[in-house]
Chain A
Amino acid sequence: MGLHKFALAASAALFAAGAQAEGLKVGMITTLSGGGAGLGIDVRDGFMLAVEQSGRSDLEVVIEDDQRKPDVAVQLADKMIQSEKVDVLTGIIWSNLAMAVVPASVAQGKFYLSPNAGPSPLAGKGCHENYFNVAWQNDNLHEAAGAYANSADLKNSFILAPNYPAGKDALTGYKRFYEGELAGEIYTKLGQTDYASEIAQIRASGADSVYFFLPGGMGISFLKQYADSGVDLPVVGPAFSFDQGILQAVGAAALGVKNTSQWSKDIDNATNTAFVESFEAKYGRLPSLYASQGFDTANLLISAMGKADVADQDAFRSALQAAEFDSTRGDFAFGPNNHPIQDIYVREVVQEGDVFTNKIVSVGLKNHSDAYAADCKM
């Protein structure tokens, strides 16, 4: 496990003050090396940007790399809790890592703020008062895509996802809202890079549209091959395959694709505009969905710090629940299971100069919560 200590200094004042007794220590476990490091780096950069902007000297962040390995993540969580004695944990990108880390961490009285993963067990039966999801429940974006398909009058979708739990959740989420017929449903191999076989089946299926959930490199491969196949059915996907980090690698193949997201860089509010500007100024690239989630997570935490001391768990929890911070997404609130209630947008991939990016075309689901809240007994 990489015991990185990225300098935690939010500001120089941190070192000067030394008044840590009243402060708050955050442990961020995220993926910074190997495949998928791009997501972790964005979450980290977004989070640290917010910390820096807050100028708080009493907020210390310890960052470690989980290498996308669950056992390493568990190890790091132990280290954060036992050795660094952090108050709040955050940062995990992948659902399987979250499932490994979150239950044990909250059971030990720590707060966990999820900046990305939202596995269904943690939203339903396995929910916990100290676990807050600041991104989405895993099904949300897929549900919005299903709703969008109805509104776009798509009646015969071909749907595919990798053969692993998040993939199954994705298709379940889509089907929960989608009212048309299914022309086909395929589970692909995790990490698969060639989709010729699947595309041929799509071609032969007589579908009127394609919905896919293929995160990371898988999505890049699929889109490039799809664009080249001559099949020109409309494609819909969740934002993961169209975020700022990978759009450049997909290139023109993604142009015009509709995708669902709770955030977009053109959401019109002051917080978001400032965020996009300052992120680009500091890091020299456009922020991604993940960066916005990192940024919001940090701001939620900072807002709670302003209201309560973390030592007073109940007060701090209430402060988090209130979610009184300026989100880049505009309106943001927590449901009864501490998962977001928020708008989910439909975006379209466009080209701005040399850069591929997204613009919002409509709202997919308004004030959307998740399907598992009823199972949550807190």
Chain B
Amino acid sequence: MSWILLIEQTLNGLQFGVMLFLMAAGLTLIFGVMGLINLAHGSLYMVGAFAAAAVAAATGSFVLALVASLVAAAFAGVLIEVLVIRRLYDRDHLDQVLATFALILIFSEGTRWAFGSFPLFLDRPEYLAGTVTLPFGIEYSKYRLSLIGIGLLVAAGLFWMIMRTRIGIRIRAGENDREMIGALGVDISLLYTLIFALGAALAGFAGALIGAIQSVQVGMGEPVLILAFVVIVIGGIGSIKGALIGAVLVGLTDTLGRFLLPQIFGLVMTPSAATSVGSSLASMSIYILMAGVLLVRPKGLFGGA
């Protein structure tokens, strides 16, 4: 095992992490401000990817496809917020889990009905194809490097928005005291819709970005959804900072776990047994990480006291 390989794997973990962050940020904002568990967040990811694939096929432009993913996911977000989600803010978590579980069923089969059962094609733009050579002679995919950049940029933008802008102040106020911001004359239901649309747009954006190097298909949002939940739970629900750190932690654990665990077991076992045991453990690693974090800190790394 060379250091270069380890660095490359760390970059891969980072890239996976920042993409998870795009998903997790919306999820954690929505929970922090509205107190809502949204299982349908993965469906918004899927909506973004499908919208991007459809627009890319029609226009051939990746940038337009990304814009489409933002718009479509935000639109879908507003739609379900107005029709369904806003009735759930005052309900207990159980009702929220079930209602949004129902939304998953509707979204998945609805997308299949609209786009068919076969995966769609979405490709990275030609100018991001291929690799670049980083210091130490590491050859790394241009597109993945761009993903890391975009992800960090979005993260910085989010932090700026929350810390510096008027809407950010309202969001933070909303996290602390819901009645209070209502009393201060802020239009709560508009604020909630906006936050939900923002979270949805981020999810859709992530769907499009990832869709370009994966397969755009029905159900693609669910594995990501569960990972995003793991992320925000590790980070502490409601904390954007926690979401970022949790996302990177999960990204690194998963990537490096898949890479290192079979090798570690290889030191004490036969190669095939090590591959098998190591892979099994690697697929459980992030859940073990999450359970471990919660046992030490029952409200996540950056959760309230």
Direct contact of A and B (CB under 8 A): yes
Give Cα distance in the complex from A309 to B279, angstroms. Answer: 51
Q: Is A197 a contact of B12 with CB atoms below 8 Å?
A: yes
User: From DSSP, what is the main secondary structure of chain B's interface residues?
Assistant: helix
CA gap between A251 and B215 in the complex, in Å: 11
Among residues of A, the one whose C-beta sits closest to the C-beta of B128 is: A228
B168 within 8 A of A: no
Chain B stretch 199-238: residues in CB contact (< 8 A) with chain A: 210, 212-220, 223
Query: What chain A residues lie within 8 Å of B15 (beta carbons)?
Result: 196
Which of A40-55 touch B at CB < 8 Å? Answer: 41
Q: Which of A29-37, A299-307, A368-376 makes up part of the contact surface? A: A29-37
Contact of A249 with B121 at beta-carbon distance under 8 Å, contacts A187-B279, A217-B220 already known: yes
The answer for the CA separation of A197 and B262 in the assembled complex, in Å, is: 13
| Contact status A229-B279, CB under 8 Å | no
Mostly helix, strand, loop or mixed at chain A's interface? helix
Report if A230-B217 is in contact (Cβ < 8 Å); known contacts: A38-B117, A163-B279, A200-B5: no
Q: Is the CB of B141 within 8 A of A230?
A: yes
Say whether B123 contacts A37, CB under 8 Å.
no
Cα distance A257–B256 when bound, in Å? 29
Residues of A within 8 A of B (CB): 32-35, 37-38, 41, 163, 185-191, 193-194, 196-198, 200-201, 203-204, 216-218, 220-221, 224-225, 228-230, 245-246, 248-253
CB of A230 within 8 A of CB of B275, answer no
Interface membership of B96, Cβ < 8 A? no
Question: Are B108 and A34 in contact (CB-based, < 8 A)?
Answer: yes
Is A193 a contact partner of B223 (Cβ separation < 8 A)?
Answer: yes
**Given A200-B8, A204-B2, A224-B123: A249 and B215 interface contact (C-beta under 8 Å):** yes
Q: Does B283 contact A (CB under 8 A)?
A: yes
B124 at the interface (CB under 8 A from A): yes
In the complex, A344 Cα to B303 Cα: how many Å?
58
Which A residue's beta carbon lies closest to that of B259? Answer: A197
Closest to B5 in A: A204
- B-chain residues with CB within 8 Å of residue A204 when the two chains form the complex: 2, 4-5, 8
**Please, how many angstroms separate the alpha-carbon atoms of A218 and B217 in the complex?**
11
Instruction: Collect the chain B residues with CB atoms within 8 Å of residue A41's CB.
Output: 117
- Per CB-CB distance, the 6 closest pairs between chain A and chain B, nearest first, are A220-B215, A230-B131, A196-B12, A217-B215, A37-B117, A249-B119
Give chain B nearest CB distance to A15 CB in angstroms: 29
Partner of A188, one of B131, B210, B220, B279: B279
B112 at the interface (CB under 8 A from A): yes
Give the CA-CA distance A221 to B216 in the complex, in Å.
9
Contacts of B271 in A (CB 8 A): 185
Chain B residues whose CB sits within 8 angstroms of the CB of A221 once the complex forms: 213-215
CB contacts (< 8 Å) of B282 on chain A: these are 189
How many angstroms between the C-alpha atoms of A218 and B255 in the bound complex?
A: 16
A204→B216 CA distance, assembly (Å): 29
Of residues B109, B118, B220, B255, which shows the largest number of chain A Cβ atoms within 10 Å of its Cβ? B118
Give the docked Cα–Cα distance between A375 and B4 (Å): 48
CA distance A198 to B257 in the complex (A): 12
Least distance between A153 CB and chain B CB atoms (Å): 25
B2 / chain A contacts, CB cutoff of 8 Å: 204
> How many Å from the CB of A198 to the closest CB on chain B?
8
Contacts A229-B131, A249-B119 known; A189 to B283 CB distance under 8 Å?
Answer: yes
In the assembled complex, B41 has its CB within 8 A of some CB on chain A = no
Q: In the complex, are the beta carbons of B123 and A251 less than 8 A apart?
A: yes
Nearest residue in A to B256 (C-beta to C-beta)?
A197
